Structure 1
């Protein structure tokens, strides 16, 4: 539960573009493209192939991610976080409301620092049914064109925590069928404009707070998903949470219907005497799970708790020690 808060010759450009209108999750045979040259958008030369995100879906090491105020539009918080934890995040998450424009500047800044951006797109003040029926197609297409024009990789998660009652798009406001239709509609609009530089990330909350809500009815299908994101926070004090207890039941259920790579898309631990132990559990669990490609620490202060790592704390010292492991972090620009 989220705390409240490469060029091609002109003779082949057309055929290449037609062959690549689908997204990463449904185009396993598309040819790899070299990363675009920054600032090339708007050129009248032959169009670039969409950025090939496949190597980033199955990375050589674990993503070391963080979410923090103002990032990636401003990278100051990322710089400060890097100094604090001793390693630069290579996955930066931010949230955008429905109706917002695509933050191409922020995504570019993150990329230039060696990080992939993950966007959590939240459909506030609209309904999944309306999205599914095409009411937002114009907005989605405009957004998708901006993503395609930038032509840098970006992960997108839409309406996460859909299995929770606390979200406007959650169990008390939308059906699983509406959710799936809305997800597929968005995905297909992106495909129509050729925005294949997206890692589609389906992200339920861990099932522990609502065990009776099955995840499978909410799943759009493997053709529409690249990563499965997990949202879960270490909140239990006595006895404390363990990684397998917090995430294990959700992973087990997901594995009955999808083999997609997993990523802990949002996590943190409540402040207090158990926080250092929770940090150890997080790193231990992600390190041991071969199908979990990394995690994102939610470094925000929220009404429910201050999830930020505190300077001088035992938890920060433990986080810094464990983050130093070579398995965590890599320059996303160098992945082929």
Structure 2
């Protein structure tokens, strides 16, 4: 949402000689997208490091698409390139997140080491890929294929499951790729070209999350024209926050958007980014979030945006809300080891 959204774009990466180092939060990759000292990615469905010919088998993401338990996700500073913030979040909430979201600008290298770090702790990585300095028309036309193909090859080479959300909140006017600058046709064309490029690279280890903002602030914008189609989407990743200007019932925040989405796709949904504005109501907002997600069989879980950006969304600033969050997170419905779904 315009008043609540924030970006924590991952810093760019650079190569120094032929060695692979870590700089400004991103792992530096060789031409294949893999650190020179690393092992291969996971073998299909095993969750173990691929060795030898196992690396030729794409990781089977099917068990992760709609698991029995809910995803318990978080976006925290530095993660997953550094998992210190995740460890702190785990100690604070009493449960380890199994879905770690980070933000990357178009042009950034794929953070293969970060994905490994998260996987080693039983968590899936979600990349929010933001095309700040490129037009979607150029992407769709293949003008950026050199970068795109290298990125896709890096993801395939790692061969661990990764969630990619490209150009989220496309139905908002506040994004450079939003309604003021991009038509639905251009958006869909860019999405399909990116997806097809990954398919051509054999990178079927990607879970594709199409992620509109909740429709509440942009009721006049229809979502269906922006939808690439079920063949190009695995999850619908809804983005929405509990703000003091709006009613805090789960159905009020997310219901209108989910109802509209259900008119054109039955794909599983995930609250890809959410939090509650600080204040006396925050404890109730947390309660409504957990109850709403748990009651919705099609809702896969949520990712809590634990950053101070435009508002302080961090749980630690609201002790009573944090206590409620910790109590509800302890339930058996949320969290599982993604290596053993």
Task: Look up the match of 1:3.
Answer: 5
- Deviation per CA, 1:240-281: give whole Å up to 9, x if none: 411101100000000000000000000000101000000001
Tell me, what secondary structure is at the counterpart of 2:251?
helix
1:234-313 correspondence runs (5 A): 234-236=242-244, 240-302=247-309, 304-310=310-316, 313=319
Q: Is the 8 A contact 1:35 1:152 kept in 2?
A: no
Q: Is the 8 A contact 1:53 1:153 kept in 2?
A: yes
> What is the CA–CA distance in structure 2 between the aligned matches of 1:213 and 1:252, rounded to whole Å?
14
- Deviation per CA, 1:15-67: give whole Å up to 9, x if none: xxxxxxxxxxxxxxxxx933264264xx5x46421000011001110000000
Q: Is the 8 A contact 2:278 2:318 kept in 1?
A: no
The structure 2 residue matched to 1:38, chosen from 49, 56, 72, is 49
Tell me, what secondary structure is at the counterpart of 1:56?
helix
Relative distance call for 1:46 and 1:63 in structure 2 (3 A) is closer
> What is the CA–CA distance in structure 2 between the aligned matches of 1:314 and 1:144, rounded to whole Å?
44
Relative distance call for 1:284 and 1:136 in structure 2 (3 A) is same
Relative distance call for 1:188 and 1:315 in structure 2 (3 A) is same
List structure 1 segments (4+ residues) > 6 angstroms apart after TM superposition: none
Tell me, what secondary structure is at the counterpart of 1:334?
coil
1:139-288 correspondence runs (5 A): 139-236=147-244, 240-288=247-295
Relative distance call for 1:79 and 1:193 in structure 2 (3 A) is same
Relative distance call for 1:240 and 1:34 in structure 2 (3 A) is closer
Task: Look up the match of 2:66.
Answer: 58
> What is the CA–CA distance in structure 2 between the aligned matches of 1:80 and 1:39, rounded to whole Å?
30
1:61-100 correspondence runs (5 A): 61-100=69-108
TM-score (norm 1): 0.88
Tell me, what secondary structure is at the counterpart of 2:312?
coil
Q: Is the 8 A contact 1:56 1:332 kept in 2?
A: yes
TM-score (norm 2): 0.87
Q: Is the 8 A contact 2:165 2:208 kept in 1?
A: yes
Task: Look up the match of 1:12.
Answer: none
The structure 2 residue matched to 1:328, chosen from 327, 331, 334, is 334
Q: Is the 8 A contact 2:47 2:339 kept in 1?
A: no
Task: Look up the match of 1:18.
Answer: none
Tell me, what secondary structure is at the counterpart of 1:79?
helix
Q: Is the 8 A contact 2:44 2:54 kept in 1?
A: no
Q: Is the 8 A contact 2:55 2:159 kept in 1?
A: no
Task: Look up the match of 1:120.
Answer: 128
CA root-mean-square deviation: 1.4
2:325 is equivalent to residue 319 of structure 1: yes
Unaligned runs of 5+ in 1: 6-31
How far off its partner does 1:193 sit? 0.6
Q: Is the 8 A contact 1:84 1:311 kept in 2?
A: no
